[in-house]
Amino acid sequence: MTIAPEMTDVHAIVEQVWSSFLGDEEPLLPAYDADGPFGADDAWSSAVSIHGGWTGTVTIELSKNLAFSLTRLMMAMDESEALDDAEVADAVGELVNMVGGNIKSLMPGPSALTLPVVAAGRAAHSSDLREVSRFDARWAGEPVRVSVHSPS
Amino acid sequence: MAPASFELIASLVLRETSIIYEPRKEYLVEARLHPLSVQAGCSSIDEYVQLVMRNPVERQKSIDALTINETSWFRDNAPYQAFTETMLPALLAARADRRRLSIWSAACSSGQEAYSIAMLLDQHLPPGWTVDILATDVSTAMLSRVQNARYSQVEMNRGMPATSLVKYFNRAGTEWEVVPSLRSLVRTRHLNLAEPFPMIGTFDLVLLRNVLIYFDQPTRHGILRRIHPHVASDGYLLLGSSETTLDLPADLNAMWDREQIGRVQAHRPATQAASTIAVPRPHPHIASGSLTGARP
Amino acid sequence: MTQRAMIIDDSRAMRSILRRIITGLDFETAEAGHGQEALDLMEAGFAPDLCLIDWNMPVMDGYTFITEVRKRPEWRNVTLMMVTTESEQGQIVKALAAGAHEYVIKPFTPDAIVEKLELLGLSGKGIPA
Ligand SMILES: C[S@@+](CC[C@H](N)C(=O)[O-])C[C@H]1O[C@@H](n2cnc3c(N)ncnc32)[C@H](O)[C@@H]1O
What pLDDT is recorded for position B270? 92
Task: Check whether B295 has a pLDDT greater than 50.
Answer: no
- For the segment B202-226, the average pLDDT, to the nearest whole number, is 95
Say if ligand 1 is within 6 A of residue B137 CB. Answer: yes
Please report the pLDDT score of residue A124 as a whole number. Answer: 81
Q: Which residues contact A88 (CB under 8 A, 6 or more apart)?
A: A44, A67, A68, A71
Phi and psi at residue C107, in whole multiples of 5°? Answer: -80, 155
Q: Could you tell me the pLDDT band of residue B296, with boundaries at 50, 70 and 90? A: very low
- In a domain, residue C128? The reply is no
Residue C125: inside a domain:
no
Residue C57 lies in a domain: yes
- Is residue A135 included in any domain, yes or no? yes
Name the H helices within C8-103: 12-24, 35-43, 62-70, 89-98
> What does the pLDDT read at residue B288?
36
Is residue B5 pLDDT above 90, yes or no? Answer: yes
With beta carbons less than 8 A apart as the criterion, state whether B101 and B121 touch: yes
Instruction: Give the Å distance between the CA of B257 and the centre of ligand 1.
Output: 24
Q: For chain B, what are the domain ranges? A: 3-66, 78-290
Q: Residue C25: which CATH number?
A: 3.40.50.2300
Task: Write the CATH number of the domain with boundaries B3-66.
Answer: 1.10.155.10
Q: Does residue B282 surpass a pLDDT of 70?
A: no
User: Does ligand 1 have an atom closer than 6 angstroms to the CB of B265?
Assistant: no
| Partner residue facing A106 (CB), from B31, B154, B173 | B173
Say if A108 falls within a structural domain: yes
**Residue C129 domain-assigned?**
no
Pairing of strands C102-105, C79-84: parallel
- CATH class of segment(s) B78-290: alpha beta
Structure confidence by residue, pLDDT tens digits, B130-176: 999 999 999 888 999 999 999 998 899 999 999 999 999 999 988 99
In C, which residues are within 8 Å of A97 by CB distance?
A: 11, 56, 85, 106
In short, whether B139's Cβ falls inside 6 Å of ligand 1 is yes
- Give the range among A51-55, B78-82, B102-106, B276-280 with minimum mean pLDDT: B276-280
Which residue range is the domain that position A131 belongs to? 7-17+42-52+63-151
How many separate domains does chain A show?
1
**Contact call for A76 and C85, based on CB within 8 A:** no
SS3 category, B147: helix
Substitution target from A25, A28, A133 for chain B, most B beta carbons within 10 A: A25
**What does the pLDDT read at residue B292?**
37
Give the model's pLDDT for residue B67.
86
Closest CA to C8 of A50, C25, C111, C42: C42
Mutation probe of ligand 1 site: the residue of B67, B76, B158 with most atoms within 8 A of C-beta: B67
Q: Give the range of the structural domain holding residue C90, as residue numbers without chain letter.
A: 3-119
CB contact under 8 A, B157 and C100: no
- Average pLDDT rounded to a whole number, residues A39-65: 91
- What is the interface pTM, i.e. ipTM, of the complex? 0.91
pLDDT of residue A36: 61
Res. B79 pLDDT band, cuts 50 70 90: very high
User: What pLDDT is stored for residue C61 in this prediction?
Assistant: 98
CA distance B104 to chain A (A): 31
> Would you say residue A127 lies in a domain?
yes
Q: Which residues of chain A does C59 touch, with a Cβ-Cβ cutoff of 8 Å?
A: none
Q: Choose, out of A10, A16, A19, the residue to mutate when testing the contact with B (most B CBs < 10 Å).
A: A16
- Total count of domains within chain C: 1
pLDDT at B222: 95
B141 C-alpha vs ligand 1 centroid, how far in Å?
A: 12
Note whether residue A117 is domain-resident. yes
Least confident of A33-47, B138-152, B198-212: A33-47
Inside any domain, residue C39: yes
The three-state secondary structure class of A146 is strand
Which residues, at least 6 apart from C91, have a Cβ–Cβ distance to it below 8 Å? C55
pLDDT-derived band of residue A3, with 50, 70 and 90 as boundaries? Answer: confident
Per CB-CB distance under 8 Å, the chain A contacts of C88 are: 104-105, 109-110
What is the predicted pLDDT for the residue at B105? 98
Positions in chain C whose pLDDT score sits under 70: 124-129
Predicted confidence at residue B68, as pLDDT, reads: 85
| Per-residue pLDDT reduced to its tens digit, B216-267 | 999 999 999 999 999 999 999 999 988 987 788 999 999 999 999 999 999 9
In a domain, A32, yes or no: no
